[in-house]
Amino acid sequence: MQVCIMKPLLENDKLVCAHQGIVQLKSDKGKDLLVDDNGVITESDLMNSPISGCSHNILGVPKPCTKIVQIPPNALSETLEVNGERVVLEDMVSMIMTDNGVPLQLQGSQEKSLELDK
């Protein structure tokens, strides 16, 4: 038996854009799988999630990041699905892009992991 350890993105994690805008995480499809009492974030939970407080501007004109627009397949678990949706992996959030083409950052990663028997 092989054990697979992964770190799913959870709804209490803090994701920000490069300009410190905060991604509003809400587990909908992933709420049926809890890790430390928090729902996991699936692809559809994260896609189009709003971003608030982004300070990005171009030549003094505000152009804030407003939502998530791209989640590459390798940012999603190959083995873990909830309600038919693949789970977003914490270690891969820097590959996920905002509508300004800016990668995300995870702030204050918490100690967590999910062990699965393969």
**Span 51-95, pLDDT tens digits:** 999 999 999 999 999 999 999 999 999 989 999 999 999 999 999
Instruction: Report the half-sphere exposure of 115 (CA within 13 A, side-chain side).
Output: 3
* Position 97 pLDDT exceeds 60: yes
Beta strands in the chain (DSSP E): 3-6, 14-16, 22-23, 34-35, 38-39, 51-52, 57-58, 61-62, 68-70, 76-82, 85-88, 97-98, 105-107, 114-117
